[in-house]
Amino acid sequence: MQRSGAAEATEGIGAEEIVPGPASDPFSGVKAKGLLSGAELRTGYAPSRPLLDAVINRGLALLLLPLASPLMLLIIIMQKLLVRGPVFYAGRRLGKDRKEFNILKFRTLSHSAETVTSDRTLPRRSMTETRIGLYLRRSRLDELPQLINILRGDMVFVGPRPIRPEIEDLYREEAPGYEERFRIRPGLVGFAQALMTHETPKNLRARFNRMCCRTPIRYRAAFGFLAYVGFCVLTKSARLALSGVADQFRPLAQHKWLRTGFNCPPDSKVELSAGNSTHVGAICGISDEIVQFVSTRPFPEGEHFLMLVRKRKSGRICRLRVRARIEHCEPVGIGRSGFANYATYSTTSRGARHFVERYLLQSSVISS
């Protein structure tokens, strides 16, 4: 049976095993498998014939722009109704051979964000999004105007994401070999952007990007991956929009925004070894600081090391040890035979934070 382009592009790049390396590069010891195995990449970014590559990308952008126009027009109308100021954002970015260009996006941040992001990336919980900006950023629809950048020749559909000149030095210091990306035109969609998260260490993202920049592009696999990412973005956009509309007709206590930030990953659990006994609970909600789980036995309150465990569809078991404080344990259920547990937790490294974001919070474009 012939595989689809999306399957070819994503096969073998959905998991990685982290092995600690030297302090100067904590990911230099990462085993060459999964995300970090160039041998398993079905396509990369490097075009063998640049002129043909330009024709293919600009032709596809010319085809997609009219199809995306109704959605873009709707976003423009919503921006005009809900937000003061310009609809679009044009910011400097570094392209191929470090040539600067202006990237186009729908504006999602207020004017106060300029002081927050002047020399760094946007921090979590910055509270600088506009009324519609948070939705656009979560759904990734703010990137739609970059179809115009592709028509101009500044970008392509599949390639490393462009960066701001102001933070280039910050990335270069943390990711050796970072300049490899400037051999390729930046892309609307990058494999690292789609498969990893904002919390993924720059070392890991840069290492993956370097391999993609050195691997020839296979258009069938690359555009199959692009179509799958587009499907994921549109599905998430529709789900977020419908949920927001439905909340307007629900009682306050049932609003989904009360659970915003929590995720319930499938086939996930918490394990705690205390003395001669092992406690196991099923995760029913996790955020970047809190984990909630139910168990048949009460977990002891206080500070402990918890093991967060997730079984993926592939059958692979992902495990992460975190420092946690179990704050509360309460009997629940028929006959009060079960227990609801609430704990705060913290990770000890950026690699561990990447694990939580990707496998438990599932905050990447393509969920794991």
Going residue by residue through the chain, which has 368 residues, state the pLDDT in tens, using 9 for 90 and above: 444 444 444 443 333 333 333 333 433 443 444 455 444 567 889 999 999 999 999 999 999 999 999 999 999 999 988 888 889 999 999 999 999 999 999 998 876 555 555 555 555 555 667 878 888 888 889 999 999 999 999 999 999 999 888 888 777 776 667 788 899 999 999 888 888 877 677 777 888 888 889 889 999 999 999 999 999 889 888 887 887 676 666 664 454 544 556 888 889 999 998 778 889 999 988 988 899 999 998 899 899 999 999 998 878 898 999 999 998 888 887 777 789 998 999 988 777 887 888 888 887 777 76
- On whether both 141 and 169 belong to a single domain, the answer is yes
Q: Is residue 255 part of a domain?
A: no
Q: Which of 215, 247, 279 is the last residue of a domain?
A: 247
Sign of CA dihedral 19, 21, 23, 28: negative
- On whether both 202 and 308 belong to a single domain, the answer is no
How would you classify residue 99: left for phi > 0, otherwise alpha for psi between -120 and 50, otherwise beta?
beta
- On whether both 227 and 356 belong to a single domain, the answer is no
Q: Is residue 366 part of a domain?
A: no
The tokens for 294 are 């139910």
Q: Which of 247, 269, 284 is the last residue of a domain?
A: 247
The tokens for 278 are 């092992």
What CA–CA distance (Å, rounded) separates 338 from 296? 5
Q: Is residue 100 part of a domain?
A: yes
Q: Which of 204, 225, 247 is the last residue of a domain?
A: 247
- On whether both 66 and 185 belong to a single domain, the answer is yes
- On whether both 71 and 220 belong to a single domain, the answer is yes
**pLDDT value at position 226?**
92
Q: Is residue 166 part of a domain?
A: yes
- On whether both 240 and 103 belong to a single domain, the answer is yes
- On whether both 206 and 274 belong to a single domain, the answer is no
Q: Is residue 252 part of a domain?
A: no
The tokens for 135 are 């939705």
159: domain range? 5-247
Question: What is the number of structural domains in the chain?
Answer: 2
**pLDDT value at position 242?**
80
Angle in degrees, CA 367, 121, 198, rounded to 5: 15
Q: 308, 290 in Cβ contact below 8 A?
A: no
- On whether both 147 and 240 belong to a single domain, the answer is yes
Of 138, 65, 74, 63, nearest in space to 104 by CA: 65
The tokens for 157 are 């559909």
For 277, the 3-state DSSP assignment is: strand
What CA–CA distance (Å, rounded) separates 269 from 307? 8
Q: Is residue 32 part of a domain?
A: yes
- On whether both 272 and 241 belong to a single domain, the answer is no
- On whether both 241 and 113 belong to a single domain, the answer is yes
- On whether both 215 and 354 belong to a single domain, the answer is no
Q: How many CB atoms lie within 10 A of CB 98?
A: 11
**pLDDT value at position 275?**
74
What is the value of pTM for the model shown? 0.76
Query: In CATH, what number is assigned to the domain containing residue 339?
Result: 2.40.10.220
Q: Any idea what DSSP says for residue 15?
A: -
Q: 255, 77 in Cβ contact below 8 A?
A: no
Q: Is residue 110 part of a domain?
A: yes
**pLDDT value at position 243?**
72
Q: Is residue 368 part of a domain?
A: no
- On whether both 269 and 180 belong to a single domain, the answer is no
